[in-house]
Copies of this chain bind each other. A is one copy, B any other.
Amino acid sequence: MRKGELTRNTILDRAVRLASEVGLSGLTIGRLAQDLELSKSGLFAHFQSKETLQLQVLGRASHIFIEIVVRPALAQPRGEPRLQALFDRWLEWTKKADLPGGCIFVTAAVELDDRTGPARDRLVSLQKDWLDLLANVARTGVTEGQFREDLDAEQFAHDLYAVMLGHQHAHRLLRDPRATDRARRAFEALLEAARREPRRRSA
């Protein structure tokens, strides 16, 4: 049972890469087998259905994301420095993970948002975890005294996610060379607003 797991992981790594380009439903068993020079049936035997394959692709992608983005950032001090580290790594995680099609979670999100089933459920769960993590780090920034007391940490996480979505759009679709600069500015503005003292009630 040793060899099996090994090739299964090889398959999944390739599948994650492929899915980042063509999506989870565009990801095809025939194409995947061809890329890996495996037979369709041999590959298929590792998973018992395409749905299982999709689920495992999501799981594998999540694992990679955590290794590349989250874990290293945890080495940074709590609060704002950690937030900055998360953002920096987040910005370029698809490069480090060698995902030629950009963030696979964004692709999957758009694909699955109006479908039902376990793949969607899994993705939602992963995304909520990620947003929770971001909100928690922001909250820590408050207790550490870096951010203002009345910061809405969940709104902050939401806005931060939006910045990343905007970046992907500008970078990948529009091919805007200023995309990364734009994202950094937007992030800086979020930070600045989080740091700023709450505005006085009147003028």
Q: Which residues of A contact B (CB under 8 A)?
A: 21, 23, 25-26, 100-102, 106-107, 109-114, 123-124, 127-128, 131, 155, 158-159, 161-163, 165-170, 172-175, 182, 185-186, 189, 193
Partner of A128, one of B161, B174, B186: B174
Residue of B at shortest CB range from A103?
B110
Task: Find chain B residues with CB under 8 A from A169 CB.
Answer: 109, 161-162, 165
Interface contact B173-A127, CB-CB below 8 Å: yes
Task: Find chain B residues with CB under 8 A from A131 CB.
Answer: 174
Interface contact A124-B174, CB-CB below 8 Å: yes
Q: Which 4 A-B pairs have the closest CB atoms?
A: A162-B166, A165-B165, A113-B172, A113-B173
9 cross-chain CB contacts under 8 A? A21-B114, A101-B113, A112-B173, A113-B168, A114-B172, A123-B173, A158-B182, A159-B166, A162-B167
Task: Find chain B residues with CB under 8 A from A174 CB.
Answer: 124, 127-128, 131
Task: Find chain B residues with CB under 8 A from A114 CB.
Answer: 21, 100-102, 172
Q: What's the number of copies of this chain in the assembled complex?
A: 2
A interface SS class: helix
Measured CB to CB, the closest approach of chain B to A166, in angstroms, equals 3
- Determine which residue in A21, A102, A158 has the highest number of CB atoms from chain B within 10 A of its CB, and name it: A158
Task: Find chain B residues with CB under 8 A from A111 CB.
Answer: 23, 110
Interface contact B182-A189, CB-CB below 8 Å: no
Residue of B at shortest CB range from A112?
B173
- Determine which residue in A106, A113, A124, A128 has the highest number of CB atoms from chain B within 10 A of its CB, and name it: A113
Known interface pairs A110-B107, A173-B112, A174-B128; A182-B165 also in contact (CB < 8 Å) = no
A123 to B174, CA, bound (A): 9
Known interface pairs A21-B114, A110-B107, A193-B193; A170-B158 also in contact (CB < 8 Å) = yes
